[in-house]
Chains A and B, each alone.
Chain A
Amino acid sequence: MKFREAIRAATVEVMRKDARVFVTGIGVPDVKGIFGTTLGLAEEFGAERAFDIPLSESAITGICLGATFRGLRPIFVHQRIDFTMLTMDQLVNHAAKWRAMFHGAHPVPLVIRAIVGRGWGNGPQHTQSHHGIFAHVPGLKVVVPATPHDAKGLLIAAVEDDDPVIYVDHRWLHEEEGEVPEGYYEVPIGKAAVVRPGSDVTVAAVGPFVGEALKAAAALADQGVAVEVVDIRTLRPLDGETILASVKRTGRLVVADADWGPCGVAAEVIALAAEHALGALKAPPVRVTWPDSPVPSSQAIEPQFYPGARQIHAAALYTLSRNAGGGLIRSSVKPFEGPF
């Protein structure tokens, strides 16, 4: 099953199981159905439970939050995570605070599903990741699935959760194929996964960089380097236990985060390692993150902006004091074809 189909399957599962779940967002019931992820929901569950909205992201976030007070479990979908910047008051000042500020007077099961729109020259305001911003805030949970299996299981877990959850899905994973179990299952929030065991270098990766890390690991295996790939999956609460256990096994750490570096998730993971596993580290950790720049639009430089398997490969060798030699592997991300 494709990644985007897994998201749709999860949505159908939660809506069938629980009549309190509704899905909203600009374009949810339209012919495109949010890249196909919401197609058919209005037909199966009715226009009351899968509905379009005015272009009022801020108020709609507050409206979804208000609906949780009356027991509903909203999923608010954004076709670009960039648009969630309009909703930060409701997410950071309100949703993230309600459970603490009102001392757990009622659950706040709000899910924000936000899509990262890399590709086709989408440029500075349609391609950002922003997951690091949300991961900074206590009271929010943040998940970034990397596989169709987790795309389904994490979305179900997000809807089941009584805290607000930011669910970030990367459009350039939407066409990825993978095994997806039938039926209702959860991938636990707060648990990272070791997706490839290895003894020489840990690569902890976020979202689309997990696949890139696996490609790098395969190339490195041919060079006699055993890479352990950890899919971080949940950025908040971060599963320090799994990450640190891996770092202690390998003594080397590369963090590959599909976001900017400064004050971000990669920095957080390295800080954890510095605080709790410094003695085990045999080399300085390395961050593979986006360049410290807005994302460009031009087809001449957009592809150069994004690091991938090649950079992860080089970073892993760097921790072994070895030179990648350049050009060993190429990033093989399938480019997104427009128009949106």
Chain B
Amino acid sequence: MSLERALYTAMVRMRMIEEKIAAIYPEREIRSPTHLYIGQEAVAAGVCAALGRQDVVAANYRSHGWYLAKGGSLQAMMDELFGRATGCSGGWGGSMHLIDVEAGVMGTSAIVAGGVSHAVGSALADKMLGRSQVSVAVFGDGAVEEGPWHESLNFAVLKRLPVIFLCENNLWAAFSPIKDRQPPVEIHRRAEAYGIPGVVVDGNDALAVHRAAATAVHRARRGEGPTLIECRTYRWLEHCGPNDDVPQGFRAAEELAAWKDRCPIERMRQFVTDEEDRAIRVAVTREIEQALAHARSAPWPQPTWKPAYYEV
């Protein structure tokens, strides 16, 4: 399969899975705060296509896309969203805490910047063990404002670790615009202070993301240290939940419309024929239906704690 078709397929799969999650969310079968990735698919698709299975991604609470793009099991994720014992976190984590050790999804954090240092630690271990894997810290623009983000960069550069700092700048932290949170210094330029390459790419262009990621991966594998990549993108839905949040009045309808015009999937549509597109969508639909059917009938987890002594 060509790179273009692979990226297109990965993005359509993410989009269709999340659209289904959004559609069924009001049915209350999924009872876990769900931060949808719709609109940002090119970033996870482009980066993960540049990684091997043994490479590692540490991401955040908006990670369905990352988990799927990195090769995490859809069934285990769907079971997790449904709170089932067969979920990737056994029903203990929910949507915000996805893990697939085999696929190199090292777990996702619900604390902003919480997982950045984990990727650095993974890279430190790989370097100490003489392995050639690469670790990717995935975070949003808000994480750049957290102290441990800077601490993590400082250490990773100091030790020349094989780690990529991958920022998904979607311009909003929940309801707060970036202009109210950061001085007007572009995020990728923070890399200059640490003496490493900092690049900015159109985060809605999967091929551009892939090129930047591949360069950073190559650099990391050669032992040349970290790269900071800023991907400019935009989330289409509310910070958390299945709805459009434009009616809430904090961001402009025109802003969202402009970003929808730059849909990452539409931009790659030219690389597949109508027939191929249909085939991709039929296959994903079948995959989703199977995953949902299984999740709905999967067993519930049991408490692992002991009952209180006065209940026994």
CB distance from A115 to the nearest CB of B (A): 22
* 0/1 string, B118-149, CB within 8 A of A gives 1: 11111111101100000100000000000110
Residues of A within 8 A of B147 (CB): 58
**A229 close to B (CB within 8 Å):** no
Q: Out of A22, A63, A71, which one reaches B155, CB within 8 Å? A: A63
Residues of B within 8 A of A54 (CB): 151, 154-155, 158
Residue contact B92 to A100, C-beta cutoff 8 Å: yes
CB contact list, B63-101 vs A, under 8 A: 87-93, 97, 99, 101
For the complex, give the distance between the alpha carbons of A102 and B111 in Å: 15
Residue contact A101 to B114, C-beta cutoff 8 Å: no
CB contact list, A65-114 vs B, under 8 A: 65-72, 89-90, 93-94, 98, 100-106
Residues of A within 8 A of B129 (CB): 70-72
* 0/1 string, A34-61, CB within 8 A of B gives 1: 0000000000000011000110101111
Residue contact A22 to B118, C-beta cutoff 8 Å: no
Residues of B within 8 A of A105 (CB): 88-89, 99, 101, 107
**A32 close to B (CB within 8 Å):** no
For the complex, give the distance between the alpha carbons of A60 and B118 in Å: 9
**A62 close to B (CB within 8 Å):** yes
Residues of A within 8 A of B97 (CB): 101-102
CB distance from B136 to the nearest CB of A (A): 12
Residue contact A66 to B114, C-beta cutoff 8 Å: no
**A64 close to B (CB within 8 Å):** yes
**A276 close to B (CB within 8 Å):** yes
Residues of B within 8 A of A90 (CB): 114, 117, 148
Residues of B within 8 A of A62 (CB): 114-118, 120-121, 148, 152
Residue contact B107 to A70, C-beta cutoff 8 Å: no
Q: Out of B109, B135, B151, B309, which one reaches A60, CB within 8 Å? A: B151
A-B contact count (CB 8 A): 129
Q: In this complex, what residue of A is CB-closest to B149?
A: A59
Residue contact A63 to B114, C-beta cutoff 8 Å: no
Residues of A within 8 A of B213 (CB): none
With A54-B155, A65-B117 as given contacts, are A106 and B101 in contact (CB-CB < 8 Å)?
Answer: yes
Question: Most chain-A Cβ atoms within 10 A of its Cβ — which of B58, B121, B147?
Answer: B121
For the complex, give the distance between the alpha carbons of A275 and B93 in Å: 33
With A48-B128, A94-B114 as given contacts, are A66 and B93 in contact (CB-CB < 8 Å)?
Answer: no
For the complex, give the distance between the alpha carbons of A64 and B126 in Å: 12
With A62-B116, A64-B121 as given contacts, are A70 and B92 in contact (CB-CB < 8 Å)?
Answer: no
Q: In this complex, what residue of A is CB-closest to B110?
A: A93
Residue contact B56 to A89, C-beta cutoff 8 Å: no
Q: Out of A49, A66, A101, A103, which one reaches B121, CB within 8 Å? A: A66
Q: How many residues of B contact A (CB 8 A)?
A: 41
Residue contact B148 to A58, C-beta cutoff 8 Å: yes
Residues of A within 8 A of B116 (CB): 59, 62
For the complex, give the distance between the alpha carbons of A67 and B58 in Å: 12
CB distance from B77 to the nearest CB of A (A): 13
Residue contact A98 to B107, C-beta cutoff 8 Å: yes
**B106 close to A (CB within 8 Å):** yes
Residues of B within 8 A of A104 (CB): 90
Residue contact A66 to B111, C-beta cutoff 8 Å: no
With A94-B109, A103-B89 as given contacts, are A70 and B126 in contact (CB-CB < 8 Å)?
Answer: yes
With A69-B118, A94-B109, A106-B101 as given contacts, are A63 and B124 in contact (CB-CB < 8 Å)?
Answer: yes
CB distance from A168 to the nearest CB of B (A): 23
Residues of B within 8 A of A67 (CB): 121-122, 124-125, 128
Q: In this complex, what residue of A is CB-closest to B153?
A: A59
* 0/1 string, B156-176, CB within 8 A of A gives 1: 001000000000000000000
For the complex, give the distance between the alpha carbons of A103 and B98 in Å: 10
Residues of B within 8 A of A58 (CB): 117, 147-148, 151
* 0/1 string, A286-319, CB within 8 A of B gives 1: 0000000000000000000000000000000000
For the complex, give the distance between the alpha carbons of A66 and B114 in Å: 11
Residues of B within 8 A of A60 (CB): 117, 151, 155
Residue contact A66 to B101, C-beta cutoff 8 Å: no
Residue contact A69 to B107, C-beta cutoff 8 Å: yes
Question: Most chain-B Cβ atoms within 10 A of its Cβ — which of A22, A66, A70, A94?
Answer: A66
**Other contacts beyond A54-B154, A62-B118, A102-B107: 17, CB < 8 A:** A54-B158, A56-B154, A58-B117, A62-B117, A62-B121, A63-B118, A67-B121, A67-B124, A69-B56, A70-B126, A71-B125, A72-B129, A89-B148, A90-B114, A93-B109, A102-B97, A103-B93
Q: What are 18 A-B contacts with C-beta separation under 8 Å?
A: A56-B155, A59-B154, A62-B115, A62-B117, A63-B118, A63-B120, A63-B152, A67-B122, A67-B125, A70-B56, A70-B122, A89-B111, A101-B92, A102-B92, A102-B93, A102-B97, A103-B90, A105-B101
By a beta-carbon cutoff of 8 Å, the part of chain A in contact with chain B is 22, 48-49, 53-54, 56, 58-72, 89-90, 93-94, 98, 100-106, 275-276
Give 6 closest A-B pairs by Cβ, nearest first: A66-B121, A62-B117, A103-B90, A59-B151, A70-B125, A56-B151
